Structure 1
Amino acid sequence: MTTISLVRHGRVENPEEVYYGRLPGFVLAEKGREQAAAAGRFLAQDAVSAIYHSPMLRAAQTAQIVRDQFAAPVPLVECALLNEIHSPYDGLPVAEMERRNWDFYHELPPPYEQPEEILARVLAFFERLRREHLGQHVVGVSHGDPIAFAILWAFGRPASTMQKRQLVECGVDDLYPAPASISTFRFSDTGALLDYRYHCPHAIP
């Protein structure tokens, strides 16, 4: 059995309240560091072979803090398949994105990503890890929408903005993957998905 845990990065320092997307330089807030440490302590209960992470700084920082909670160090590997979505809205005020109802995808041309393209690269990540880490537990630090679409896939639902708002029906009590939450997918040796679990360690008393 191969286990893959997708961790959303911790809360980001964002005093200007912008949608940061793929903008460089956004670091974890102190709260985000605490959240990442809680995720690491939870994951340290099992043997983890490697931690992959998005190229974004906040994801790399989360990965490092998660690893710091382990009794022994494991490899950290940057992986573009886990990257934040590619959209034209980086830098827009959060208030503007809220007015858009956080819809990143409506009628956008290439090279901007659509949900099915984002899901395709997450599934490619799963396939890579099933080949390279058969029978092991591996962590991938990514971002909200890539993880949300992977959850929908696990429940046989299409990757879309509308379905993304129904994640509570997929066991996501926080309605959307919370910062430093853990979405764990377990696969058989043949690659079949066995089960999916959602945890938010920093919310557990």
Structure 2
Amino acid sequence: MSASRIHLVRHGEVHNPSRVLYGRIPGFRLSTLGERMAGAAALALQDEHAPVARLIASPLQRTQESAAPVAKAFGLEVETDERLIEPTNHFEGLVMKRAVRDPRNWFALRNPRLPSWGERYTSISSRMMAAVTDAWDTTPEGEVVLVSHQLPIWMVHSTVTGTPFPHDPRKRRCALSSITTLERRGDSFVEVAYRDPAAGLATAATDVGAV
């Protein structure tokens, strides 16, 4: 036996008054609004009567905090998987609108198809799909929630849908506290649902932590 579904949940809004690209920088926690967003994702899974049997999160603070409402809702411990982490990024700690105008950073923008500013798309896809597959194979029954970040989740989406990895980051369909759901069919994973339970909160949110 194995899991029946995998839910990829993105973290909620981060407290980021300086509007920097925070990447893997430690200490970036959820904002008060982000906590409400994370709660909305947990409530959505509860309302769907999802038989969530396991909860795994990226090691970063914002994902661990976003996993907390799910843990409480389903009586689970939060496991940690390093493979779910945010990618490395040259622009960590910088305000993107200013950084891209600085000639000292232009070398990092030389090849957006890789991308040249951080971890390669192929690497992100490989580690994320390995984490998804392991979660599926090692969970005897029920559904698994993986709490991760926008680009890693988008790379899973691109992989299972056969969409090219290079893309415009502004056009990712992966909102704060959104839920992307996968099922296994034969030898492959397929995306079967996408929900945005925190959409009603998003108009007041700031989302500048990823590129």
TM-score of the superposed pair, with normalisation by structure 1: 0.83
Q: 2:116 aligns with which of 107, 112, 123?
A: 107
Partner of 1:154: 160
What is the total number of aligned residue pairs between the two structures?
189
In 2 relative to 1, CA 132–42 (structure 1 residues): closer, same or farther, beyond 3 Å?
same
Q: 2:173 aligns with which of 176, 181, 188?
A: 176
Matches of 2:78 and 2:187, distance apart in 1: 24
In 2 relative to 1, CA 98–148 (structure 1 residues): closer, same or farther, beyond 3 Å?
farther
Matches of 1:34 and 1:123, distance apart in 2: 29
Deviations 1:107-149 (A, max 9, x none): 35xxx41001001011001110121014420000000100111
Structure 1 SS opposite 2:52: coil
Matched, 1:80 2:82: yes
Partner of 1:133: 139
Partner of 1:15: 17
In 2 relative to 1, CA 98–38 (structure 1 residues): closer, same or farther, beyond 3 Å?
farther
What is the 5 A alignment of 1:5-84?
5-44=7-46, 45-68=49-72, 70=73, 72-84=74-86
Matches of 1:106 and 1:41, distance apart in 2: 36
Deviations 1:56-91 (A, max 9, x none): 1000000012222x2x41121011010001122110
CA RMSD, 1 decimal: 2.4
Partner of 2:125: 119
Shift of 1:97: 5.8
Specify every segment of 5 or more residues in structure 1 that has no aligned partner in the other structure, as ranges.
Answer: 167-174
| 1:3–1:186 contact (8 Å) kept in structure 2 | yes
Shift of 1:183: 0.5
Q: 1:59 is matched by which residue type in structure 2? A: T
Q: 2:192 aligns with which of 180, 191, 196?
A: 196
